Amino acid sequence: MPERDIVSASLRDEERQFEAALRPQRLADFAGQPKLKEILAIAIEAAKQRGEAMDHVLLYGPPGLGKTTLAGIIASELGVNLQQTSGPVLQKKLDLVGILSNLQEREVFFIDEIHRLLPDVEEMIYSALEDFRMDILVGTGPGARTVAMPIKRFTAIGATTRQGLISAPLRGRFGLVLRLNHYDMVELARIVLRSARLLDAAIDPDGAEEIARRSRGTPRIANRLLRRVRDYAQVRASGHIDLEVARAALDLLEVDPYGLDEIDQKIMRTLLEKHGGGPVGINTIAASIDEESDTIEEVYEPYLMQLGFLDRTPRGRVATERAFDYFKVPRRMRGAQNTLF
């Protein structure tokens, strides 16, 4: 493996360990998503009272909102172990057979990026989710036969950022289909304050609010920014995070007051300055900024739309009046060339 890849893999591992240390273990400690929490609390308590496996759960929404955290919380609340994998890892039916055959009664089986399951693996999981059995082909040719292998009743939790890519037969086998939404600033500020306590970092409420304001409505980003601001405060401000220190650190990181980073800026300036505000196709934007169109759609556009800077239309992406004002782009640039793909 090239040295650059080794370093980046090490950094990703460090980020995952950091996030894991800050994750709440109980549903009561999970900030935000009140309706989702109430639904899960009822389902968990009902399963515990009956002594049964909880119904299967599909969690969907933008990345970084707590889908993996919720899977761990559900297992913890049920008092069972959590077995974790992801769609890209399950490349063969045998991979799934090995995991399912070792699941214990009422255990939680978490599949991240479930929309990336291969078709033959997905077909095999149907009977496991619905009838708690695996259909295994024994032998080859005319003598081949299917043997049903029973498995213990378990709770499957699937997580995806792209619910539309999940087939209807798979989606229909989940009893609970729940969406996680972006967090408001008050909820994110609470998360920042809690994380700061766990990190033993001194922070004022105003400093926590400033970090929350620039976190794109996403707890993962809030915790990441808190870590960087904590470093800045330790080196430049005697370790205490107040409003001024938070602003100085985040300005140094080039995270603007709305939390827009370099890619967000490129997307909007391409749309505003090169194409007069649109409409313009996603492939054109992707080619202009040298970024994958899927990444733009999944990671960047939802937040830009939430801010009211961008609209998706049948003809392409369109910038709003608010975007022209915020990025200080003259209205005369509306006459620029529009490109559709």
Model pLDDT, residue 20? 63
Residue ranges, CATH 3.40.50.300, the chain: 32-179
What's the CATH number for 32-179? 3.40.50.300
Instruction: Name the CATH topology of 185-252.
Output: Helicase, Ruva Protein; domain 3 (1.10.8)
- The tokens for 332 are 């005369």
- 69, 112, 116, 284: which is the annotated catalytic residue? 112
Q: In the prediction, which pLDDT does 66 show?
A: 87
> Would you say the pTM of this structure is higher than 0.85?
no
Question: What is the pLDDT, as a whole number, of residue 210?
Answer: 92
- C-alpha 255/C-alpha 210 separation (Å) is 11
323 CB neighbour count, 10 Å cutoff: 22
Catalytic residue, from 93, 213, 220, 230: name it: 220
Which pLDDT belongs to residue 142?
A: 67
First to last CA, the chain: 38
Helix 67-78 with 34-50: angle, nearest 10 deg: 30
CA distances from 62 to 4, 181, 216, 219, 296 (A): 28, 8, 11, 11, 12
Q: Could you count the other beta carbons within 10 Å of the beta carbon of residue 317?
A: 25
Class of domain 262-335: mainly alpha
Q: Is residue 112 flagged as an active site residue?
A: yes
Supply the pLDDT for residue 178. 92
Mark whether 161 is an active-site residue: yes
Q: Give catalytic status of residue 68 as yes or no.
A: yes
Of 215, 256, 252, nearest in space to 237 by CA: 252
pLDDT of residue 181: 86
CATH 1.10.8.60, the chain: domain bounds: 185-252
pLDDT of residue 100: 85
Q: Which of 23, 68, 106, 317 is catalytic?
A: 68
Q: What is the pLDDT of residue 251?
A: 87
Cα–Cα distance measured from residue 146 to residue 282, given in angstroms and rounded to the nearest whole number: 46
Q: Which of 67, 214, 230, 317 is catalytic?
A: 67
Q: Which of 155, 160, 161, 284 is catalytic?
A: 161
How many other β-carbons are positioned within 10 Å of the β-carbon of residue 195?
Answer: 24
Q: Are the CB atoms for 141 and 110 separated by under 8 Å? A: no
Farthest-apart Cα atoms in the chain, separation: 77
Structure tokens at 88: 């890209």
Contact 240, 232 (CB under 8 A): no
Which residues of the chain form CATH 1.10.10.10?
A: 262-335
Give alpha helix (H) positions in the chain: 3-22, 34-50, 67-78, 93-101, 119-131, 168-171, 185-198, 205-213, 219-236, 243-252, 262-269, 282-289, 293-295, 301-306, 321-326
**pLDDT digits (tens), the chain, 341 positions:** 444 344 434 445 555 555 666 778 888 888 888 899 999 999 999 999 998 889 999 999 888 888 999 999 999 999 999 988 888 888 777 778 888 888 888 999 999 888 888 888 888 888 888 888 877 766 565 656 667 788 888 999 999 988 888 888 888 889 899 999 888 889 999 999 999 988 888 888 999 999 998 888 889 899 999 999 999 988 888 888 888 999 999 988 888 888 887 788 888 888 888 878 778 888 888 888 888 877 787 778 888 888 888 888 888 888 888 888 888 877 654 444 444 43
Degrees, nearest 5: CA angle 184-187-191: 130
Residue matched to tokens 């496991």: 128
* pLDDT score at 139: 56
For residue 87, what pLDDT is reported?
Answer: 84
Token couple for 323: 């975007």
What is the number of alpha carbons within 13 Å of residue 15 lying toward its C-beta? Answer: 15
